[in-house]
A = this chain, B = another copy of it.
Amino acid sequence: MREMSYLSTNPYKGTRDFFPAEKRLQSWMFQKIRNVVSGFGYLEYDGPLFEPFELYAAKSGEELVSQQLYSLKDKGDRHIAARPEMTPTLARMVASRINEEPRPVRWFSIPNCWRYERPQRGRLREFWQLNVDVLGGERRFGDAELIQLAVEIFRAFGGEKFLEIRVNSRSLVDHVFRSEMGLSEVQARAVAKLLDAKDKMKPEEFTGRLAEQGLGASQLGILEKFFATSLETLATDFPGEASAEIVALFATLEKLGVTSTVRFDPKIMRGLDYYTGVVFEAFDVSPENNRALFGGGRYDNLLGLFSKNELSGTGFGLGDVTLQNFLETHGLLPNFESFYDLYCVCADEAAWFAVQRELPAWREAGLRVLMPLALGSFKSQFKEADRFKAPYTLVVGEEELKSGDWVLKDMRSGEQTKLRASELLSRLVVKGSQKS
């Protein structure tokens, strides 16, 4: 009755299977992140994978909605989509509790997201993304806290020395483009888009495309001056509220000891439609990787879709694939110990049941114990223990059962120790950090 053609065992294109080793690695990354973020008082939230289509149609950018969304109509004719990003869900949830939730709202989530993309290095159709957001509070404190928190995450992995966070401000760019250069809104948007794509062009092409937008010599001069300005000259070069805000943010970061990993970079643009204040993008500055790692910024109108309540916040997103590539590149992934602590070699059923009586206490103490499910020879059971890479075996044969002296064998050194069942726990000290 079996089908003649078998189904493929591959996962759907652009997605990953998490076998136990991969799952352990991902859990390890996420747990480290959770520890850091929780230390800053951020609380984890989560939402449904499917959301109403309109949630994305309104805000998520055209490419994402028209080309990358996994959407369907349910049997009640509701148009829904698998989330391509978490921010719309965050906005919906915060909007629904806007009068109850104490502020500042400090929330994070590590959802899986779906985008129909051409799979390539660092880009998959299903990925997990850490989202951290702070809503409310003074801008410079909130912005600084998020940047500091991001650095702390990388420090927890031992990777902060490869990290550089380039910071700019959307309102500063606005001020320079509109007030100083006198660009129209359309021009400003076009120039910003060009800047985002600048690295993919030759310098002549870039200048040519700017000229196409109708920028004159004096406007190009201002743009050049803007790109050449530094944190020290910014306030005198482009005086105003926007530059004062950036200067204040960097002063705050400096007093927080976040200095080597951040720098002002007027060329950072990041999704101009979305952000309204500080924007930042983090890079791996090592020559081996040299990739964008994460980005974020301040938005002033998160809840606009749901109510007229205004709430300003800052957020960033960090993808699991990007982070894992980064850690791999720099050799920052751990060498995991065995999945298990102990394998029990049992001569016969009497031994098997005798060991079983001890197991609840050992498991309660955190030991991960494998019992054979078939009572083959000692040799076959030791083989199995080897296949599972068990660091220790407990050997209970007829003789051990009679004497009550069981044998603990260190599978690496081969060393064997006699012990009573009651002594086992004190021998196999459980290290919490070994656990996946």
Q: What is the interface of chain A, defined by CB distance below 8 A to chain B?
A: 2-3, 6-13, 15-20, 23-24, 26-27, 35-36, 38-41, 43-52, 54-55, 58, 67, 70-72, 74-76, 78, 80, 82, 92-93, 95-97, 102, 104, 106-107, 112, 114, 116, 126, 134, 136-138, 141-142, 145, 152, 255-257, 304-308, 339-340, 353, 356-357, 360, 362-364, 366-375, 384, 387-388, 435-436
Establish whether residues B70 and A43, one from each chain, have CB atoms under 8 Å apart when the complex forms.
no
Establish whether residues B96 and A9, one from each chain, have CB atoms under 8 Å apart when the complex forms.
yes
Establish whether residues B18 and A373, one from each chain, have CB atoms under 8 Å apart when the complex forms.
no
Establish whether residues B7 and A20, one from each chain, have CB atoms under 8 Å apart when the complex forms.
no
Establish whether residues A78 and B12, one from each chain, have CB atoms under 8 Å apart when the complex forms.
yes
A116 to B24, CA, bound (A): 31
Establish whether residues B2 and A23, one from each chain, have CB atoms under 8 Å apart when the complex forms.
no
A39-B305 contact in complex given A49-B49, A74-B70, C-beta closer than 8 Å: no
Chain B residues with CB under 8 A of A104: 373
Lowest 5 CB-CB distances: which A-B pairs, in order?
A137-B373, A39-B363, A15-B48, A9-B96, A20-B43
Taking a contact as CB atoms closer than 8 A, the residue among B3, B112, B304, B370 that contacts A2 in the complex is B304
Establish whether residues A138 and B48, one from each chain, have CB atoms under 8 Å apart when the complex forms.
no
Establish whether residues A256 and B353, one from each chain, have CB atoms under 8 Å apart when the complex forms.
yes
Chain B residues with CB under 8 A of A374: 137-138, 141
Establish whether residues B47 and A17, one from each chain, have CB atoms under 8 Å apart when the complex forms.
yes
Establish whether residues A145 and B20, one from each chain, have CB atoms under 8 Å apart when the complex forms.
no
Establish whether residues B134 and A39, one from each chain, have CB atoms under 8 Å apart when the complex forms.
no
Establish whether residues A126 and B387, one from each chain, have CB atoms under 8 Å apart when the complex forms.
no
Stoichiometry, as copies per complex, reads 2
* Nearest B-chain residue to A20, judged by Cβ: B43
Chain B residues with CB under 8 A of A369: 39-41
Shortest C-beta distance, A100 to chain B (Å), equals 10
Establish whether residues A134 and B373, one from each chain, have CB atoms under 8 Å apart when the complex forms.
yes
Establish whether residues B12 and A50, one from each chain, have CB atoms under 8 Å apart when the complex forms.
yes
Establish whether residues B75 and A373, one from each chain, have CB atoms under 8 Å apart when the complex forms.
no
Chain B residues with CB under 8 A of A356: 255-256
**6 A-B residue pairings within 8 Å (CB atoms):** A9-B306, A24-B44, A50-B70, A70-B74, A102-B387, A256-B356
Establish whether residues B18 and A46, one from each chain, have CB atoms under 8 Å apart when the complex forms.
yes
Taking a contact as CB atoms closer than 8 A, the residue among B2, B40, B67 that contacts A363 in the complex is B40
Shortest C-beta distance, A340 to chain B (Å), equals 5
Establish whether residues B93 and A7, one from each chain, have CB atoms under 8 Å apart when the complex forms.
no
Establish whether residues A7 and B305, one from each chain, have CB atoms under 8 Å apart when the complex forms.
yes
Chain B residues with CB under 8 A of A152: 360, 363
Shortest C-beta distance, A302 to chain B (Å), equals 12
Establish whether residues B44 and A145, one from each chain, have CB atoms under 8 Å apart when the complex forms.
no
A50-B134 contact in complex given A305-B6, A353-B256, C-beta closer than 8 Å: no
Taking a contact as CB atoms closer than 8 A, the residue among B27, B52, B384 that contacts A7 in the complex is B52
* Nearest B-chain residue to A18, judged by Cβ: B46
A138-B373 contact in complex given A45-B19, A49-B126, A102-B384, C-beta closer than 8 Å: yes
Chain B residues with CB under 8 A of A138: 373-375
A17-B70 contact in complex given A39-B367, A368-B39, C-beta closer than 8 Å: no
Chain B residues with CB under 8 A of A74: 70, 116
Establish whether residues A48 and B17, one from each chain, have CB atoms under 8 Å apart when the complex forms.
yes
Chain B residues with CB under 8 A of A52: 7-8, 12
Establish whether residues A19 and B373, one from each chain, have CB atoms under 8 Å apart when the complex forms.
no
Establish whether residues A307 and B6, one from each chain, have CB atoms under 8 Å apart when the complex forms.
yes
Taking a contact as CB atoms closer than 8 A, the residue among B16, B256, B384, B435 that contacts A48 in the complex is B16
Taking a contact as CB atoms closer than 8 A, the residue among B2, B39, B257, B339 that contacts A366 in the complex is B39
* Nearest B-chain residue to A349, judged by Cβ: B255
A20 to B58, CA, bound (A): 26
